[in-house]
A and B are shown apart, each in its own frame.
Chain A
């Protein structure tokens, strides 16, 4: 598509093209999701590549992105599957890791109280760390961003990038030779490190929590199976961590 001529075309024909305000709010949301798309797409590609290189099918990767839509948990699930973890361990670990979205959803829904429940049900599925952070920041600048259609556009943009990126990565994995594929399991850990290090840079106390959790996991992993070791270490270390940040 020719982007330059497209935008000029739009300039000559302003908002009249979208007679309904809802439609233009939706498109404004889609446009705003661009920075999130830029962030999600490569991670989703990595997820697709790693899942297929780990020996799972394209439909497994695709359906997980479509129905679970929780970045770190999806990588974690593949990781735990490779460790021969039980399904129930993976599901509990996913629950533990994602329960934080409850807080984010509470905060967001609190601000959308005046809107109909039926429309908030699909929206709530697409709440993620990044979309929530974006919406929380946008709020301080502009109250009008608490429009249901604007939020819908933003969330659907991010979700589409995640699902389509997974597909693209899965297809990419099919053309990567196995000799390279053998080293791909490192990619999973690199992804975790890439998520963790910037957070530690911002708040060094998070590093203590992560370090404590890693230490616990190393200690107990010899006695119980790795899946439970991750769940238990996470719960204990984050509990201590909550005292660490109390002073702020």
Chain B
């Protein structure tokens, strides 16, 4: 039940910013500073989402997630498709876990 409340809440807060302009587009102009701030948010969010979370991919062994992140970064840097980035990163984590933990 709690999970479905989260979906409803998320649906509300994602739809509202998309819907509101339909009604107010004629009446408002955002300051330039706010505009720039909003533009930066996705990049900042990604940074905070990746670190430190990625280091806890394997409980107590931060190196595992770190290696996975390095592999993903290299794959993404060479513009591999997102599917290969995810796949290679998961594979590297599996290999590292197999070698060092088992």
Contacts and interface: CB of A to CB of B under 8 A. Distances in A.
Interface residues of A, number: 93
Given A124-B22, A211-B47, A216-B48, A238 B37 contact: yes
B54 to A, nearest CB: 4
Interface in A62-107: 63-64, 67-70, 72-73, 76-77, 79, 81, 83, 87-88, 90-106
B86 A125 contact: no
A5 B26 CA distance: 48
A83 B49 CA distance: 11
Interface string A160-200: 00000000000000000000100111110111111111110
Interface in B39-53: 39-53
A63 B77 contact: no
A230 B26 CA distance: 34
B76 to A, nearest CB: 4
Looking at A117, A129, A187, A229, which has the most chain B CB atoms within 10 Å of its CB? Answer: A187
A76 B47 contact: no
Interface in A117-164: 117, 120-121, 124-125, 127, 129
Interface string B1-32: 01111111111111101111111011010100
Question: Chain A contact residues: over half helix, strand or loop, or mixed?
Answer: helix
B43 A77 contact: no
B65 to A, nearest CB: 7
A83 B53 contact: yes
19 contacts: A68-B7, A76-B45, A81-B3, A87-B2, A94-B13, A124-B18, A124-B21, A180-B94, A184-B90, A187-B90, A189-B69, A193-B89, A194-B72, A197-B73, A209-B43, A210-B43, A210-B44, A210-B46, A215-B51
Interface of B: 2-15, 17-23, 25-26, 28, 30, 33, 35-54, 57, 65, 68-69, 72-73, 75-77, 79, 81-83, 85-86, 88-90, 93-94, 97
Nearest 10 interchain pairs by C-beta: A210-B47, A213-B47, A190-B89, A197-B76, A241-B40, A102-B17, A238-B40, A242-B36, A214-B51, A91-B9
